[in-house]
Structure 1
Amino acid sequence: MNWKLCLAILTCNVVFMSASYTMLIPFLPMYLTHDLGVDAASVNIWSGIVFSSSFVVSAIMAPLWGRLADKKGKRLMAIRASLLLAISYFLGGIVTSPLQLTFMRMFQGFASGLWPMELAIMTTYAPPKKMGVCLGIMQGALTAGGVIGPLFGGMLAEFFGMRMSFFLAAGALLLNFLVLFFFIKEPPEEEEPRRAGIPIPAEQPSLWKNPLIRNMMIYAVFVQMVILLVQPILTTYVTVLAGPMDNLIFISGLVFSLGGFASAISAPLWGRFGQHHGFHKSLTIALVTAGICALIQTLPDDLYYFAASQFAIGLFFSGIYPSINAILAENTDSHTKGRVFGMLFSAQQLGSIAGPLLGGVIATLFGMKYVFLAAGCILLGISLTIRRNRREDTNLSIKY
């Protein structure tokens, strides 16, 4: 299968997947109160339960789906995830209680794994010289969907109600399922490496024993933790900076989306930069610059300056995940890509669980500005760790 056609199809799939998710998640509190009868005193508790239940299940299931992908086929696991996610969204549109919605989100966590499988497929088809560009484009598509989703979801909820949003998301994932089933072929398997004098083991070693892979998983946990550290308080912080202002909800959403717009634009450029200058270098630079921008976000008491810093952090943050994905793709063969991207997705889910908890504690005890301070320090800390471990990582040339 031609890699350019594969990239075009998977990019469209990623946009649908991301937009379907983000047009629902920000509005779950509204769904709980308006459609499921949860009172104002309990809505925050139920929102936390519903939101986190999916992450817990997907963190457990992702490595198992990844292992199955390496044995049964990455395309098959992508088809499985698309179909089950479509069913989960449909069920979300017919639930009648918060407990049923929680079970739906748990089923969604069980069904998850579409993004890591599409990454695994693309990294198998992409030529080595185009790996960074391909992963950058896909990361940009993921971010673009994250920007489109809330805007579209807000309009749908306003005019047709939240249930229609769930049904539309189910239709989008069903379309992804059909496209994957009819147009994507299973990636070809690489030949087993036969090095002179080195016997091929009957069973592959644990990926976690590879220091490079292990380090990337740890970095991914903390990067995702930073994202979920800031996201829950961002719109609240914007309203504090804005003060009494008309169209406050729209303005908060616009400022929130600025980072996404910037990321969608810059992610392919980061991929190209990593391709030419090395992905360890692009990862380190992206972490340092994003960390500095996060620290700068603690300074403005003016909404416009904060909006500018939000756009700036999006420009730099978008280089982090394409670099991690490319480093993992370069150091694994087609027989282990399913497992490694499943592990990466699981690591991200762990960060997604820890981030809101830590952010809530920091904001409560010290104030919201200190959340941005913590985010910047974590990113700069990761960059220092990468510089320290870089020699060890780059010396690992044998693929797992």
Structure 2
Amino acid sequence: MNTEHLAKRNLLIMWFANFFIAGSMTMVMPFLSLYIETFGNFSDPYVQRWSGLTFGITFFTAFIFSPIWGRIGDHYGRKIILVLSGIGLALCVFLMGFVTSVLQLFILRLFMGVFTGFISTSQALISTQTPKDISGRALGTLQTGNVTGSLMGPLFGGVLADTVGFSSTFQLTSISLFIAAMFVLLGIQEYRIETENESAQPYSRKEVIHYILTHPVLLTVMIVSMFVQIAHFSIQPILALYVSELHGPVNLAFYSGIAFSIAGLGNLLMARKWGKIADSIGYEKVLVFLLLASGIIYLPGAFVENIWQLVALRFLLGITIGGIIPVRTAYIRQVAPVSIQGEVLGYSTSLRFLGNIIGPALGGLLASAYGFTSVFFTTTALLLIGGFSFGLILQKQPKAIGKYSS
């Protein structure tokens, strides 16, 4: 089997694996705050606060482990990491169906963070198998698997939660996670593309960090990725509560699922196209545009008066914010040597997870103290600051992709 055919086969398998992983993980997101309410007679501020903390704690352990998995993947391969990640996630989610307190749920989501690196590791796997000039397109294609799962997951999760209850939904979700792990175990054949001017020699952790710090645009891309996650995830844990305020309690899990998943539809329509556009005109330009556009789209969310206005805005948001991840990953593929791409992506993912930690906690605290609208104002400010800051750095560091020595 030649490498071109093998690359297409691996991309197809990882597309389906990402579909199952993303779908499974987003199945439970719309009703996490509602699940917490079943543990006792709690006040709204209590539920909002613990929704943020329980949602965010997963990313605390992911923040710690992501660079470690990246470095292990660079040295020993990414297939084994993907398999362990899928099985670990399946076990954690299965056990969540049996918890009886907020603390138990909190602890399980903390342990879940150790294994929350499947999608980022799959990006590293496909990135190292893809020629640089089409990396944006390939990673955009992979992203559509992620967003298709994210699109369908909340809808299925909402329907399942309303039909069979929260506990059974967690148990059914764990089956999908296990299937994703089996796809990788039985189907993936790992290899990577080496180029003439890229050394295969191993780099120490100190050398990798030095490489990142001496490439200002790369460093800024990684930091801005954290800003994006803070902004995007600040609304996630309280979205169901916001939907409840706009729409009322009737079929709440279902309508929360629509609000979550509609962003995935916009993402699905444009993720591959953003990657293709970025391959043609430059990743930096596309990233600046997407950051500014996302910030502008978030702002009207503070002023919506019904559920369908919120749904329309989240669809537009999906079109813009969904292109950021594949374009960012393709940019790193361009500037980082093959032998350290996994670790560089690991540090980038770690910063994203740090944003995932800060975002839900910040969103929960802001919502409980100042109301839901304050979350939208903060989110808009972060994205606009990120976009303008990145644009200024580009003006000071005009060297484009391909100018960095590997």
Fold equivalence (TM over 0.5): yes
Alpha-carbon distance in structure 2 between the residues aligned to 1:282 and 1:390: 12
Question: 1:165 and 1:208, CA in 2 relative to 1: closer, same or farther beyond 3 A?
Answer: same
Structure-2 residue corresponding to 1:266: 270
1:82–1:114 contact (8 Å) kept in structure 2: yes
DSSP-derived class of the 2:128 partner: helix
Structure-2 residue corresponding to 1:284: 288
1:189–1:335 contact (8 Å) kept in structure 2: no
DSSP-derived class of the 2:338 partner: coil
1:190–1:333 contact (8 Å) kept in structure 2: no
Question: 1:20 and 1:372, CA in 2 relative to 1: closer, same or farther beyond 3 A?
Answer: same
Alpha-carbon distance in structure 1 between the residues aligned to 2:308 and 2:40: 36
DSSP-derived class of the 2:336 partner: coil
What is the Cα-based RMSD across aligned positions, in Å? 2.9
Return the offset for 1:298.
3.9
1:5-39 residue CA offsets vs partner (Å, 9 max, x unmatched): 121111111110011111123333444454xx444
Matched AA of 1:40: F
Residues 17-96 of structure 1 mapped to structure 2, 5 A cutoff: 17-34=21-38, 37-41=39-43, 46-96=50-100
Q: 1:217 aligns with which of 219, 222, 229?
A: 222
1:31-68 residue CA offsets vs partner (Å, 9 max, x unmatched): 4454xx44435655554443232111111111111111
Question: 1:90 and 1:241, CA in 2 relative to 1: closer, same or farther beyond 3 A?
Answer: closer
Return the offset for 1:340.
1.6
- Residues 1:312 and 2:321 are matched in the alignment: no
Residues 191-270 of structure 1 mapped to structure 2, 5 A cutoff: 193=197, 203=204, 204-206=207-209, 207-209=211-213, 210-242=215-247, 250-270=254-274
Alpha-carbon distance in structure 1 between the residues aligned to 2:372 and 2:311: 16
2:140–2:272 contact (8 Å) kept in structure 1: yes
Question: 1:394 and 1:76, CA in 2 relative to 1: closer, same or farther beyond 3 A?
Answer: farther
Structure-2 residue corresponding to 1:398: 404
Q: Which moves more between the two structures, 263-272 or 297-306?
A: 297-306
TM-score between the two structures when normalised by the length of structure 2: 0.86
Alpha-carbon distance in structure 2 between the residues aligned to 1:3 and 1:228: 33
Question: 1:24 and 1:241, CA in 2 relative to 1: closer, same or farther beyond 3 A?
Answer: closer
Q: Which moves more between the two structures, 260-269 or 295-304?
A: 295-304
2:62–2:114 contact (8 Å) kept in structure 1: yes
Matched AA of 2:42: A
TM-score between the two structures when normalised by the length of structure 1: 0.87
- Residues 1:158 and 2:162 are matched in the alignment: yes
Matched AA of 1:272: K
1:212-254 residue CA offsets vs partner (Å, 9 max, x unmatched): 3321221011000110122334344444445x69656544442
Alpha-carbon distance in structure 2 between the residues aligned to 1:213 and 1:183: 33
Matched AA of 2:230: M
1:75–1:186 contact (8 Å) kept in structure 2: yes
Over the matched positions of the two proteins, sequence identity in percent amounts to 31
